[in-house]
Each structure stands twice: as structure tokens, then as C-alpha cells.
Structure 1
């Protein structure tokens, strides 16, 4: 069949664009460095103690920069009032986008959401739920060689009397407890499967005859709940909440080699990013916002009470989503570290160099500039950042947010700098107080002691709690739900 010249040209262009996306993370980062005129980056530190470049864990050397950028002063030095805070918020959001996380382009294509499966399930101790798999197909007419399909599973209490609050959670979008066929249905499935296999391979008839009790299909065995607290999803349903699991990797890969694919690559049509283009954290937050779009149209969901949750890198993304999208009513931010709730300018644990090298794809290209001091122009480091994590938390104000950490002894490594996160939270509390909402404490952010492990700081809209578990926020879920009962699900 002969192709017309326009059709052939389209095929060749698509093939060339697809080939253009095949770069390594190192190649992509070097291309960005070239755009910025950067010739070298300061290497990241090691998380292993005893190495020449081990991360600092000495509090005496942790704060070489004695001040955090003040969210309550405009860039020109003028003080911020409650009346002028909206203008300062816009200013902070612009700088955080341009220099740290990247801007979401104006031409991001739309998403068409479709429910592809619905299942009535039972989780925990007999809690009936309705679970739906929802797929969001992104319009890729501008770059047909790049397909993006967002994956989300929505689980709501089956017996709710009205719209329920929902906590969106970053993770695999699996059904929690798929319903099982009854014994008669399993027998029918086995009979049909045996017949099909024998038709394809007749000698299997003798095999099945020798092993007549061997099931090709069987129901999942019943498992008694384990010791300790129920899993977070069971706690949510028991408290009258629903939840949505959204897979961030369905929007954007967690690797620099994927920046010319996924939603970032689709929007750029397979081309390299510009220095102020979004990174993966902002792309994952964008996916959460699109999931919120769908949830807000569900009459069984209270659109004014949709929260966002994540742990570790997804804790960073959850805080970014909450900060930049005011429709999210609350958040549970678990063990987020640098790039999340921990100050970038703290010399403790993970460094800016780690983010600018190994995890550069999380951030805007411009962020690389702040890892060049002593090795390349423009010669900047974390002290030159005009904003820090206290500003990111402040963008949420006065909406309620719960900052959660574990302890190093249980696996929430010192790398995350729990104390630094407390400092940023305490400084952001000044914004909460300005807007008439309480924070976790008062006092100087650099010197006020961190609360003891398992000591609640849950009396205000900005909440803090360090549990005695590891790299998870699960031990704080019941505390989050109790706190949210006052600040999210109470009378509005």
C-alpha cells in the first residue's frame, strides 16, 4: 500500500520524536546544565556513616545559615499583613515554581476519566465498600507517540448516608479486597478452563484425570487481621472516610530518563525541558489535581473535604499538591525530607547536591543552579535560595495540614532531618497565626526544642507528630483522623 507524502512525513516525524525521547538521565541532566551554562555540580553526600562524604549528623554543624527566608516579608522587605498575605502568597508560589519545583505549562492537555471496573468488596472486620477503577486518558493528539493513562482506584463506604470526605493517597491503584466467586462459580471457571486447555493440548486430559482435585482457579484464603492497629485504609473506612489510591508513576516516571515521556514529555512533545519547566514532584501533584477533578464530580464525595497523603518522595509530592492547589482541604505529609517539609539550607542528612544530581528530575532545571558553589558558574548554594520549605508549608495556610515523621531507630533515617522539618513547621506557624489559625507551638524556629516522640502537637490547623515507628505515616493515621475530625470534618 502506497503512503501519501503527508502521511509518510507524519510517520517520520513521530519516529524521530520517539527516538529523541530515548536519553539517559545523565544525558538529560547534562543537556539542562548546558542550557544554564553549568559545567559541574557539587556531588551529593552519602547516607552511609564513616565515608569521606558522609552526610552531616552533627547538630553543631547543621545550621550554617542562621536564618530562614521570611515568608512574612515581601521580596522588597515590606512586612506582610493578613490583608496583604494573598499577594505575598502569589509571590512565594511564583518563586517556588520558577526556582524549585517548576511551572505547570499552560498547554497541559485535558484528561478523559472513565470507570473501567466496579466491585463490591469487604475490608477489615466486615466493612462493606464500593471500589471503582478509574482510568484517565490524557489527550495526546499533539504528540501521538506519547501515551499517558492515569490510574486511580476509589473506595467509598457502601453504607454511607451522604457524601463522605476522601483522602487521596499516592501509591499503587489496586483494588483492596477483590470480591471472590462463590464455590459454584469457581467450579464453572475450572470446568471451562480445563476444557479450553484440553482443546489446545489434548494430552492434558490425562494430566487432569490424575490430579482431579487440582484447582486452576480458587478463592483467596481468609486471613485473620494481624496484630496491632488496622491498616490505614481500614481506619479511614471505619471513620466514615473514603480513599482514592492514585498511581503517580502513571503520570510521570521516577527517573530522569523519562522526562521526555509521561505528562512532562507529552506537554513538551518529546523535547527537553526548559529551566523553569516542571519536574516529577509537580507532575505527580498535577495528577492528584486531575484525580480531584473527577472526585469533585462524584455525588458520593464531599468535594470540600478531599485531602492528600503521601510518604517520603510522595510526601514531598503531597505537600506540593496541597501548597499549589487550594482545592485540597487538608494533607497528611509523611517523612518528606528535603524537597518536602525539611529546609533545603539545613546541613543535615540529604543535601541539595543529592537532589540536584540523583533526583534532579524531581525539581525544576533552575534548581541545579543552587548546587554550583565552588565548582561552576553561577556559584550558588542553598543559602542563595530565596525561599525554603517554611514557605512551601506556609502556602497551605490557613488550611489544616498534619506533618508526620517516625524515628531513626525504627527506620525513619536521620537522612530526613526530622528536627529541620520541625523548624520549618514552627516558622510556617507564624503565617497560620497571622491568618487566625493555630500552629503546633510558638517560639524561635531555630532554638525551640522538638517535641518528644509520641507527643501530640495537634491543637491547631498546623499539626505535628513524631511517632515511634519507621518510614511510614501509618502509626499517625488514627491521630490524623481524630485531629481531622475537628479541623476538616466538623461543622463548616
Structure 2
């Protein structure tokens, strides 16, 4: 791929068995790969990110008066040549593609033109009870074809749960989830519990199903894993180029492959699949929603920087934090440029345009309270991304948030296709599930629609 860079790195590869024509993946620490990416970009130093400790001399800004050093946002309805986008056709045929290209090159990275096929296998089918609802749960593995590079294996973990009494295909909420100690998948929610029914029970009460995808089985959440997982498989174990995809796009790719499976499963109405995620997985859920127009509704939880928060906001987490060695693997290598020598102002796109790529499909932006969750994720910055995506929704005959005034906590703005609610809890989507489900039901209806 880049021999001058790779030759010295190959000495770092561990001595593991490999065929002569398939050398093992290059092994680099996140710190070393981060430095390698800076060298490729000709960057000697990055600006320091903000500190989450409010007592630190470099504490993250939480003063709204200082939050907008770059107030001018890119216009989602103006072509690169300056022409105004005044028709849905012009948006669909030209402007949307321009925005996607900018996100691909500078922010999230490019997915290879051809990625390996995924063969889904149902490894277990169980009859269970969630709360008081009988369900059928399938455990699946998506085996990614690694015949081109057998040194990397990618097996995607997915579970699908639907009501046992469903008379036909049902809507499904797909959540980005976790693997627990011992390699076990997501546990069943308790029959009842503190705080009322779980989100799974609330989904089942509507006659819908739910699925949980484990992102770490698609791509590890570390820069040290970039030569493995789906990114490493596609690169034959070599380090990334500066515009190659990062983990957020890889996780979104995994969600799309799950949706491919749903299109073959008679228990799922694949036209009514919703996607949900929290925090870094909220970022991934928004990326999946923006790039794959088959997803019907998005539930984007506390996604912050790299998600729904405006990059140009200096409030809480900053571009410089995401570009650091702990998070850079989420993004394209080119993103590092905007933490030195460039700034967020120089980005050709911003988060409002990521939300706009979801149009005309509905998106619910969720966040917790400043007192409990904190200000790191920047509730107002995510709200404003929804506000500034509104003109695209309106061009396509839909409604935005309907206001540019930040609402009081626990005020649900759900009249349009862009929705927002700040709940009184912490870093969770939990308190917003009832509001989201009522919002989503407008679009996906009941189980038999």
C-alpha cells in the first residue's frame, strides 16, 4: 500500500504462523499508529484537547458566551460552485453527494469500493420470556469472507428477538451493544426492575422486536486494532491510509450488514428497522443512519463530538480530543489536520449536515442533563445541529425542530421529523425511550402494518 512506511513497521509484527503470501497483520500500539498518521500528514504537533476535570487549567469550556468562536456553518443547501439548492432533485442528485464526499475524505473515512461478503449463520434459537412477553431469540454470527486475507477473521455477533405470537414481520429496533466478561452477549433484561420496564420490554409492548449488534466484533475500539477487524481485513493487515475508514464507519457498515440479514428473515419487516446507540455508539448510529438510507428511524443518544455535536462549538469535548491518540481511530486519518495546523473552522462539513443526510427520515436526538450527565457532550451543540439540518428536511417536504430556542429540560420537541429531548438523567438513553417510541410509532406503526 505504502512500502516506504510499511517496511520499517513490519519488524514490529509478532512471530505468528502465516502463509508466505499472507503475512500477519502489522502490530502497532495506538500511540505509534497515531504518530505514523501524523507523519503521513506532515503534522509535527497537535493542539491539546480539553480536560474533563473542571479544576484543570485546561478544563473544557462550559461557558456559552465562549462556545462559538466559529459561528458560520457550511450551508447544506449551497453547491460547491455557489449555486443555491432549491429543489429536492438538486439535493438528491448533486448536493447530498458533495456532502458525503467531504465526510468520506475528511471526517469518517472511505469504505472500500468492494468489501467482503458476510454469510449469516443462526447458531441458536431459543424460546424465552422477556417481562411477561413470550419471545423467540436468535443468536447469529456474521462470518466475513476472509479468503483474500486469512490472517484476519471477523465474526459479527448479533441477536434478534421478536414476539413469539407475532402474526407476521415486525418492526425492529437495532441497538449497538456490548460483549460482557467471558465473551457472553447481551443478557436478557430482568422481568421487572427498578425504574420500570427495560427498553426491551417497552419495545416488545408495542409488538415490535429488537436486535443487538456488538460493534467490537466488527472493529476493535482502539487504534491498536486498526490492522485487524474489518478495516484490517480489507487492508490485508496493513496500516490505514489517511482517508481510509475509521471505527465509526466500520461499526455502521456492520449495522448495514445486519440489515442485509433482516431483509432475508421473514420475522422482520426490514423496511421498518430503527437504529439506536449511546455515546460512541450514538455517533455510530447517526453515521449508519446518514449513510444507509434503508434505516427508517434513528435514536441518537448523547453522541457528542464526532456525532451530532457541532464540530465548530468549543464546549465540552473538542475536535482536539477526538483527534488524540485515544479516539482518532473512530475517524479518518485526515481528521487530525483539524487539530493542527487547521481548526474546526476549516472543516468543509459539520454535524448539522450529517443529520441532514438522514433526511427525510426521522431522527431523535437524545441527551441527559447538564447536572447529571455533565456538559462534555454539549447538549446545545447537538440541538443546534438539529436546528441547522431543518432547511434540508423542509426542502424535502418534512418538518425540522420548529424552533431555534433551546428548550427547557424534559421538553419534548417531537412535532417534526427532527426531534430533541434532554432528560433529567445521566449518560443514558433510558429516560427518553418512552418519548422516542411514541415518536417512532408515527412512522413505523404497529406490528402488522
Same fold by TM (over 0.5)? yes
Q: For 2:366, which of 400, 404, 413 is the aligned residue?
A: 404
Measure, in 1, the Cα distance between the counterparts of 2:57 and 2:333.
28
C-alpha separation between the residues in 1 aligned to 2:21 and 2:263?
Answer: 39
Structure 1 residue corresponding to 2:158, chosen from 136, 152, 163? 152
TM-score, with normalisation over the residues of structure 1?
0.84
1:417 equivalent in alignment to 2:384: no
Q: Report the Cα offset of residue 283 of structure 1.
A: 0.3
Matched, 1:74 2:35: no
Residue of structure 1 in register with 2:219 after alignment: 252
Q: What are the within-5 Å matches in structure 2 for residues 431-446 of structure 1? A: 431-442=392-403
Residue 63 of structure 1 pairs with residue 54 of structure 2: no
Aligned: 1:39 with 2:44: yes
**Aligned-partner Cα distance in 2 for 1:163–1:11:** 46
Distance in 2, matches of 1:42 and 1:65, equals 17
Deviations 1:58-110 (A, max 9, x none): 11110011211111111222111223111111110111111000011013111
Shift of 1:239: 0.8
- Structure 1 counterpart of 2:296: 329
Secondary structure at the counterpart of residue 24 of structure 2: helix
Shift of 1:463: 0.9
Distance 1:78 1:384 in 2: 21
Equivalent residues of 2:272, 2:296 under 8 A apart: yes
Whether the 8 Å CA contact 2:122–2:139 is kept in 1: the answer is yes
Match of 2:110 among 103, 127, 142: 103
Shift in Å, 1:13: 4.6
Structure 1: 5+ residue stretches without partners: 1-8, 179-222, 373-378, 443-447
Structure 2 CA distance for partners of 1:297 and 1:224, relative to 1, 3 Å: closer
Instruction: Tell me which structure has the larger Cα radius of gyration.
Output: 1
1:117-136 equivalent positions in 2, closer than 5 A: 117-124=124-131, 126-136=132-142
Distance 1:474 1:459 in 2: 21
Tell me which residue corresponds to 2:443. Answer: 487
**Residue 55 of structure 2 is aligned to residue 26 of structure 1:** no
Q: Residue 299 of structure 1 aligns with which residue? A: 266
| In 1: Cα distance, 2:47 partner to 2:187 partner | 44
- Give the superposition deviation at 1:17: 2.7
Unaligned runs of at least 5 residues, structure 2: 1-16, 180-184
Partner of 2:6 in structure 1?
none
- Corresponding position: 1:352 with 2:319: yes
Quote the residue 1:366 is aligned against.
334
1:92 aligns to 2:99 (yes or no): yes
Alpha-carbon distance in 2 for matches of 1:10, 1:282: 29
Residue 227 of structure 1, CA deviation: 3.3
Deviation at 1:161, TM superposition (A): 1.6
In the aligned structure 2, how far is the partner of 1:139 from the partner of 1:227? 43
Instruction: Tell me the CA shift for residue 52 of structure 1.
Output: 1.4
Q: Distance in 2 between matches of 1:26 and 1:160?
A: 50
Report runs of 4+ in structure 1 exceeding 4 Å deviation: none
Q: CA RMSD in A?
A: 1.6
Paired residues of 2:177 and 2:186 also in contact (CA < 8 A): no
CA contact (8 A) 1:133 1:175 kept: no
Note the alpha carbon deviations across 1:229-273, whole angstroms, 9 max, x for none.
311011001111101100000000000000001000000001111
Deviation at 1:437, TM superposition (A): 0.6
Does structure 1 residue 385 correspond to structure 2 residue 391? no
Instruction: Give the corresponding residue for 1:395.
Output: 357
Q: Secondary structure at the match of 1:11?
A: coil
Q: TM-score, normalised by structure 2?
A: 0.92
Equivalent-residue separation in structure 2 for 1:228 and 1:451 (angstroms):
25
Q: State yes or no: 1:237 paired with 2:244.
A: no
